Amino acid sequence: MGVRLVVVDDHRLLAEALASALKLRGHRVLAAAAPVAGAAELVVSRAPEVCLLGTATPDLPGVFDPVVRIKRERPQVAVVVLGPVPSPRGIAAAFAAGASGYVRHDERIEGVERALVKARAGESAVAPQLLRSAFEELLHPSAQPDDEGQRLLRLLTRREVEVLVRVAEGEDTRLIAAGMGIAPSTARTHVQRVLMKLGVGSRLEAAALAARTGLLDRALPGPRRPV
Tell me the residue type at 170: G
Alpha carbon separation from 130 to 36, 83, 85, 86 (Å, rounded): 22, 12, 9, 8
- The strand pairing partners of 124, in sequence order, are none
Determine the pLDDT at residue 142. 55
Determine the pLDDT at residue 141. 58
Whole-number mean pLDDT of the chain? 84
Determine the pLDDT at residue 81. 94
Confidence band (pLDDT; 50, 70, 90) for 107?
Answer: confident
Q: Please write the tens of the pLDDT for every residue from 77-93.
A: 999 999 887 667 777 78
202 vs 28: which has the higher pLDDT: 28
- The strand pairing partners of 126, in sequence order, are 102
Tell me the residue type at 224: R
For the segment 175-180, the average pLDDT, to the nearest whole number, is 94
Q: How far apart are CA 207 and CA 226, in angstroms?
A: 17
Confidence band (pLDDT; 50, 70, 90) for 170?
Answer: confident
- The strand pairing partners of 32, in sequence order, are 7
Residue by residue, what is the 3-state secondary structure of the chain?
Answer: CCCEEEEEECCHHHHHHHHHHHHHCCCEEEEEECCHHHHHHHHHHHCCCEEEEECCCCCCCCCCHHHHHHHHHCCCCEEEEEECCCCHHHHHHHHHHCCCEEEECCCCHHHHHHHHHHHHCCCCEECHHHHHHHHHHHHCCCCCCCHHHHHHHHHCCHHHHHHHHHHHCCCCHHHHHHHHCCCHHHHHHHHHHHHHHHCCCCHHHHHHHHHHHCHHHHHCCCCCCCC
Q: What is the pTM of this model?
A: 0.60
Determine the pLDDT at residue 86. 63
Q: How far apart are CA 197 and CA 172, in angstroms?
A: 19
| Residue 215 scores a pLDDT above 50 | yes
Determine the pLDDT at residue 184. 93
Confidence band (pLDDT; 50, 70, 90) for 49?
Answer: very high
| Residue 223 scores a pLDDT above 70 | no
Percent of the chain predicted with pLDDT > 90:
49
17 vs 147: which has the higher pLDDT: 17
Q: How far apart are CA 90 and CA 160, in angstroms?
A: 29
| Residue 204 scores a pLDDT above 50 | yes
The number of residues in the chain equals 227
CB atoms inside a 10 Å sphere around CB 197: 15
| Residue 71 scores a pLDDT above 70 | yes
Question: Ranked by mean pLDDT, which of 6-20, 148-162, 197-211 comes out on top?
Answer: 6-20
* Residues in CB range of 174: below 8 A, 6 or more apart: 184
Confidence band (pLDDT; 50, 70, 90) for 104?
Answer: confident
Percent of the chain predicted with pLDDT > 70:
85
